Each structure stands twice: as structure tokens, then as C-alpha cells.
Amino acid sequence: MSTEFRPPNLALSTVGLSLATFMQVLDTTIANVSLPTIAGNLGVSSNQSTWVITSFAVSNAIALPLTGFLTRRFGETKLFVWATLLFSLASFLCGVAQSMGMLILFRALQGAVAGPMYPITQSLLISIYPPAKRGMALALLAMVTVVAPIAGPILGGWITDNYAWPWIFFINVPIGIFASFVVANQMKGRPEVTERPKVDYVGLITLIIGVGALQVVLDKGNDEDWFNSTFIVITAIVAAVGLIVFLIWELTDKEPIVDLKLFRHRNFAMGTLCLVLAYAAFFAIGLLVPQWLQRNVGYTSTWAGFAAAPLGILPVILTPFVGRYAHKFDLRLLASGAFIVMGATCFMRSEFYLQIDFYSVAMVQLIQGLGVALFFMPVLTILLSDLQPREIASGSGLATFLRTLGGSFAASITTFMWDHRAIVHHERLAENITPFDPTAQQALEQIGHGDSQYAAAAVNQMITQQGYQIAFNEVFHVLGYVFVALILVVWLAKPPFAAKAGPAAAGH
């Protein structure tokens, strides 16, 4: 592949690639707030409606690690253009779905074709930008990754309230068509080397079974009460067997469908570990804060969205500067700075209380934005730095897959820990409220004005809220220490950290 290829209009190419990626990342969260409306309109329970999220996540997780194989087979440009067009088509089908079964099927299709879009955007941006500007391209992509999930619930809520839920899918159609047309036009002369790799069917089937089952376990575990549910136990066993066979097969096959040997590169291994763990903790924060605001502090979903939104302000402002000047610093220092800021905001949240004001919550989100602005671009650059040019699409797909899986693990574990610790604290707080404690009885009299049932219910609700609050503080304490530990991990990577693109670098 020639290093010399530059599209006729670099800015337009960047807009096309970024728009498609923004649309695809936005779609991971846009439907979340609309689920109750969708469930009501299609006549199903709210529990069944969560499959709208799960089906997208499962097929997306399966498709991501296949990016390298599909790129070798079809070429990056063609794969990107077709994935984006099919994503637009799947979005249209989601909007016209007449039943929950149809919507879940089309969401699964949407997730599958969305798989290669982000990794290929990363690979194409690196290849069309000159070496000095590659940091800028990755920083821009990082900004999209941060802003889109924040915009998703706010935009989804607004569209659902003011128009109708199908429009959260219909808006993708013109964006997708525009982006694919621009990229196809701009990349017309880009040389692509394609091959016809042997299809590793064992790897493909075990990947679909193992990853699909694991994603279902992570998405449905909390709803089904984890291993007290036969469904979760069976699915977890299927996931474990599928993944063990997949790992053994892929590491020993001559032409594996997912190239796990990429982990022989030190920077790829350490950078991916940092990306997965930091993104998992970041994802947990994004999930817990709005939930806590609605469940404990009494915010509406719109106001919870507004309180969480300041997180996106600093990444948008600082991204151009991080992209332009990051290469002048040791990227491990920038990443360490990011982890310090993100860890500090977790420790701040571990001091939150039920009567906290909007300003305090929004300010901590704003400060965390500084950490986010410094996190994605250095870590992405580190993990891609020692890959060969032909390995970048594979490496990006594999790292993005593991990052997505990390987010799913974090969502399940932190939600479970929050609920579990809340029950423990509820029991401890309720221990002293007995008929034999005169102070407790006096307080109940005052609260209920003689109505003992009302007093008991009111006190129970207060204890529940306090239990959830203490548990929330504990979870954030742990997340703070996760970020502190990551500072040690990032220093295991070794410079130089320049992302390669082209045969000039292939002799590395």
C-alpha cells in the first residue's frame, strides 16, 4: 500500500469518516432512554425491550474482531462504504419495524454491520494523514468516541418526546448515505491489496457462540439474578466452552480469523490493557451517575442527562491541542495525567450525598472531561505504535472489541456491586430500629404522627436511599483505585510511539 496516497480533499474525507463513526457510536446509547416508549408502542414488557440493546451489543461484539479478516478480503475502503450503507439500511428497517421481534432482528443486523466501521475509520485516518498529523486524526476520533455516547441519551430522549421513536433510527439514513458517498468518492484512487484468505470456520463459529453467549450473560445477568437463573448458568457454560475452544484454535491455526498473535507486540498488549480497563471504569461512571441521579436524587432522565453532559465540554475544546502538541511529550505522561484526573473525580464522587446540588455534580463531570481529553489519543497511539501497517485494521478491531467487552463487564459488575452493597447497608442500618429501642420508637412516632404503618414505610424508604448512597460511594472508591493502578500499567509500554502507515515503516 502506497504511503503517498492523499485524498483530493483531506478535510472532507475526515468529515465523512467521522460522521459515519459518530452515527455508529451514537447508536450504542440513543435507544436506551426510549425503551419504555418502544415497549409501550410494540406491546411488550420493559424487560423484553432491553433486547433492543442486547441484540445490537451481541452482534457488534462478534463482528468487531472479524475486521482484520474482512479488510484483507474486501479492502478497507470498500468494506467501510458497504458497512455504512448497510448500517443506513438496517437503521431504516429498525424504524419501520412493526413488532419487537422484527426490531430485535434489525438491531442485530445493525450491530453486525457497524462492527468494522470504527476500526477501519482509525486505520484510514492514519493512512491518509501525514505522520506529523496522525495524532490530530486520532484525537479527533477520540473526541467522537467520547461525545457520541453522551449525546445519545439526550438526543434520543428529545426525539422520542417531540417526534416518535422511529426517528432515532431514521436520522441515520441521510447521514450514512452522505458519509459513504463522500468516502467512496475521496478514496477512489487509494491502492488496496486484497487477498482471499481461507475462512477459518472453527474460529468463526466458536467466536460467534463464545462471544455471543458471554455478551448475553453480561447484559442479562442483573435482570435474571445471575447464577440463580438456569438460563444464565447454561449460557455462561456455553460462553466458557466456546471461548476456550476459540482461544486454543486461534493460537494454533495457521490462518486464524482473529490474529491473537498481535499481543506479541509489547505496546499493543500494554496499550490494549490500559484501554480496556480505563474504558471499563469510564463506562461504569457514565452508567452509574445518571442512574443514581434518577433513582436516588429524584432527577428526570432529561435533567440527569444535562448533569452528566459537561463531561463532553473539555474534550471538544482540548482535542485540537492534544492532537497537535501531544507528540512533543512522552505519551505515558499524558495518559498518567488522564488517569490521575479521572481517579480524582471518582474519589470526589465517593463523597457525594443525597442532598447534593446540580452544580456540584456537573462540576465533577466537567473536571473528569480533562482526564477524558488526555486519555483516548495517547492510549490509542501507544497501542498502535508497534504494529505493522497491514496489522493496524486487525489490531484496531481487536482492541475495540476488547474495549467494548470491557464496557459490558463493567456495566454488569458495577450495577451488581451497587445493588448488592445497598442491600448489605440496608440490613446494617435497619438493625437498630426495633420495638425495644426507645429512641427509634420515638422517631417513628414523630414521623408517622401516630400512623405506625406510614412511619415504617417512610423510614424503610430513607434507609434504602441511604444504603444505595453508601454503596454508590464505595463503588466510586474502588473505581478511583482502578485508575491509580493504571498509571503503573501504562509505564510498561516502551517508546517510540509513532503510528505507522505504509511500507516505509514496514521494515521496522
Residues 411-442 have pLDDT tens digits of 788 888 888 898 999 888 888 777 777 777 77
Confidence of residue 506 (pLDDT cuts 50, 70, 90): very low
SS3 222: coil
Tell me, letter by letter, the H, E, C secondary structure of 234-273: HHHHHHHHHHHHHHHHHHHCCCCCCCHHHHHCHHHHHHHH
**How distant is the alpha carbon of residue 362 from its chain centre?**
21
CB 13 within 8 A of CB 181: no
Average pLDDT (316-344) is 88
Per DSSP, the three-state class of 387 is coil
Classify the C-alpha dihedral 8-13-15-19 as positive or negative. positive
Going by C-beta distance under 8 Å and a sequence separation of 6 or more, which residues neighbour residue 221?
A: 232, 412, 416
pLDDT beyond 50 at 169: yes
Q: What is the pLDDT of residues 355-382, one digit of tens each?
A: 889 999 999 999 999 998 888 888 888 8
Q: How far apart are CA 146 and CA 478, in angstroms?
A: 22
Q: How confident is the model at residue 500 (pLDDT cuts 50, 70, 90)?
A: low
Specify burial of residue 251 (Cβ count, 10 A radius: 0-12, 13-18, 19+). Answer: exposed
Enter the DSSP assignment of 131. G
d(CA 207, CA 397): 14
Is the dihedral angle over the CA atoms 272, 277, 278, 282 positive or is it negative?
A: positive
**What is the pLDDT confidence band of residue 287, given thresholds at 50, 70 and 90?**
confident
120 or 42: which carries more pLDDT confidence? Answer: 120
Task: Answer yes or no: is pLDDT of 259 > 90.
Answer: no
pLDDT band at 175, cuts 50/70/90? very high
- Tell me the angle at which helices 134-162 and 117-128 cross, rounded to the nearest 10 degrees: 140
Burial of 226: CB neighbours in 10 Å, binned 0-12, 13-18, 19+? middle
Q: How far apart (Å, rounded) are the C-alpha atoms in residues 64 and 306?
A: 31
Mean pLDDT taken over the chain: 84
- The whole-number pLDDT of residue 504 equals 33
- In angstroms, rounded to a whole number, what is the distance separating the alpha carbons of residues 497 and 504? 16
Residue 473's region, left for phi above 0, alpha for psi from -120 to 50, else beta, is alpha
Rounded CA-CA distance 346/350 in Å is 6
CA 396 to the chain's CA centroid: 15
pLDDT in tens, 310-320: 888 888 888 88
Task: Assess contact for 382 and 331: CB atoms under 8 A.
Answer: yes
Name the residue with cell 474504558. 279
Which tops the pLDDT comparison, 440 or 74? 74
Residue type, 157: G
Domains 1-198 and 261-500 share a fold: yes
Q: Is the pLDDT of residue 393 over 60?
A: yes
The residue among 428, 471, 462, 282 whose CA lies nearest residue 355 is 462
CATH superfamily, domain at 261-500: MFS general substrate transporter like domains (1.20.1250.20)
Q: Which of 111-115, 121-125, 213-217, 301-305 has the lowest mean pLDDT?
A: 301-305
What gap in Å lies between CA 121 and CA 388, rounded to an integer?
A: 17
N-terminal to C-terminal alpha carbon distance within the chain: 16
User: How many other CB atoms sit within 10 Å of the CB of residue 222?
Assistant: 16
Q: Do you know the residue count of the chain? A: 508
- Give 274-313 as a DSSP string: HHHHHHHHHHHHHHHHHHHHHHTS---HHHHHHHHGGGGH
C-alpha cell at 66: 472479524
Residue of 87 and 137 predicted with greater confidence: 87
Per-residue pLDDT, 482 = 94
Tell me: pLDDT of 176 over 90: yes
Q: Are 208 and 101 in contact (CB under 8 A)?
A: no
Amino acid at 331: L
Report the percent of the chain where pLDDT is more than 70: 96
Top mean pLDDT of 34-48, 217-231, 305-319, 459-473 is at 459-473
Residues 6+ apart with CB under 8 A from 154: 302, 305, 306, 309
Q: Which pTM does this prediction carry?
A: 0.82
The string of DSSP letters for 19-33 reads: HHHHHHHHTTTTTGG
**Domain 1-198, what architecture?**
Up-down Bundle (1.20)
The CA distance from 92 to 205, in Å, is 29
Band of residue 341 on the pLDDT scale cut at 50, 70, 90:
very high
The span from the CA of 219 to the CA of 214, in Å, is 9
Rounded to whole angstroms, how far apart are CA atoms 432 and 441? 10
Q: Could you tell me which of 160, 267, 193 has the C-alpha nearest to residue 498?
A: 267
**Signed CA dihedral, 395, 399, 404, 409: sign only:** positive
The domain limits of the chain are 1-198, 200-256, 261-500
Q: Which residue has the higher pLDDT, 284 or 344?
A: 344
Cα angle, residue 466 at apex, residues 461 and 467 outer, rounded to 5°: 95
Angle at 41 between CA 37 and CA 42, to 5 degrees: 120
User: 475 is written with which cell numbers?
Assistant: 463503588
Q: At what angle do helices 331-349 and 266-295 cross, to 10 degrees?
A: 20
The pLDDT of residue 46 is 66
Single-letter amino acid code for the residue at 481: Y
